[in-house]
């Protein structure tokens, strides 16, 4: 069976990391498969949201170090860099379900997801310094923004694991769920997102991800999109459904 399994249903593309014998450690080939899936999702109208999960009680143990030493990434089109570009620039909502270990990229990729659900067993870590490496996936920028400089310094410079409750308290995850239901919870959330007006959803994500440096500039950017959306078919359907007291349908 493939080490990266993809399936689209109810508007949700599910990407499952499936290498249980290695705690879902990622090889260059696996990065390539995930990059392919995320890139294809951008132009696939059947995909409204993306869910990323792992099998067998692990999210991912991070990079397969033996594979990376044997096949170090070279050039901007190396599979790992393609994946990082794809996840960081994804226009559609990204949801993650984390069980067990989320080491290195297993944690840094979460900084690019929109919603993260952590199982009670989840253990997060940024072990780069301990491996004589440095942070990647823009985590040296995103983590201090998300949790504050001193907390980020603790996580990155010490590189010690922390649990699901700490991830939620820091803002890295949205909620802690029982292990047996975390994927179902994340999938249900992804389906909720998939049922929403897709253009409004993408523009709202874009506004948050590409926020302007001051209030006036951000209000101006919002105003451009707000005016356009007010005249859109999506808004017409949403408001018509409201007055007709029925669920809206965004085809």
**Alpha carbons 13 and 24: distance in angstroms, whole number:** 19
The residue behind tokens 């803002």 is 171
Whole-prediction pTM: 0.94
Q: pLDDT value at position 169? A: 97
Q: pLDDT value at position 70? A: 87
- The residues, any chain, with a CB within 8 Å of residue 209's CB and separated by 6 or more, are none
Q: pLDDT value at position 251? A: 82
All structural domains of the chain, each given as residue ranges with its CATH number in brackets, are 4-194 (3.90.226.10), 198-244 (no CATH)
Q: Which two tokens stand for residue 185?
A: 């919870």
In Å, how far are 6, 25, 57 from 16, measured between CA atoms?
6, 12, 12
**Alpha carbons 139 and 110: distance in angstroms, whole number:** 10
* Antiparallel, parallel or unpaired: β 162-163 and 123-125: antiparallel
**Each residue's pLDDT tens digit in the chain (251 positions)?**
699 999 999 999 999 999 999 999 999 999 999 999 999 999 999 999 999 999 989 999 999 989 988 888 888 899 999 999 999 999 999 999 999 999 999 999 999 999 999 999 999 999 999 999 999 999 999 999 999 999 999 999 999 999 999 999 999 999 999 999 999 999 999 999 999 999 999 999 999 999 988 999 999 999 999 999 999 999 999 999 999 999 999 98
The residue behind tokens 């101006």 is 220
Q: pLDDT value at position 237? A: 94
The residue behind tokens 């007006």 is 197
Is 139:156 a contact under the CB 8 Å cutoff? yes
DSSP class of residue 196 equals S
Q: pLDDT value at position 137? A: 96
């Amino acid at each position: 069976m493939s080490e990266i399994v993809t399936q689209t249903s109810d508007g949700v593309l599910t990407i499952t990391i499936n290498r249980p014998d290695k705690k879902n450690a990622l090889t260059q080939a696996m990065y390539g498969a995930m990059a392919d899936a995320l890139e294809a999702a951008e132009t696939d109208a059947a995909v409204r949201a993306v869910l990323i999960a792992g099998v067998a009680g692990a999210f991912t143990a991070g990079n397969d170090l033996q594979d990376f030493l044997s096949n170090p990434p070279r050039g901007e089109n190396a599979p790992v860099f393609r994946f990082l570009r794809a996840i960081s620039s994804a226009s559609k909502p990204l949801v993650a379900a984390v069980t067990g270990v989320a080491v290195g990229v297993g944690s840094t990729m979460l900084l690019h997801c929109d919603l993260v659900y952590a199982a009670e067993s989840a253990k997060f870590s940024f072990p780069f310094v301990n491996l004589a490496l440095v942070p990647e996936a823009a985590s040296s920028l995103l983590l201090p923004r998300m949790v504050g400089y001193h907390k980020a310094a603790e996580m990155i410079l010490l590189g010690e694991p922390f649990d699901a409750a700490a991830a939620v308290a820091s803002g890295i995850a949205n909620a802690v769920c029982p292990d047996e239901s975390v994927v179902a919870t994340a999938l249900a959330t992804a389906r909720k997102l998939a049922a929403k007006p897709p253009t409004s959803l993408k523009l709202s994500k874009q506004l948050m991800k590409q926020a302007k440096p001051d209030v006036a500039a951000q209000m101006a950017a919002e105003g451009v999109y707000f005016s356009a959306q007010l005249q859109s078919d999506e808004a017409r359907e949403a408001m018509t459904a409201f007055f007709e007291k029925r669920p809206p349908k965004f085809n």
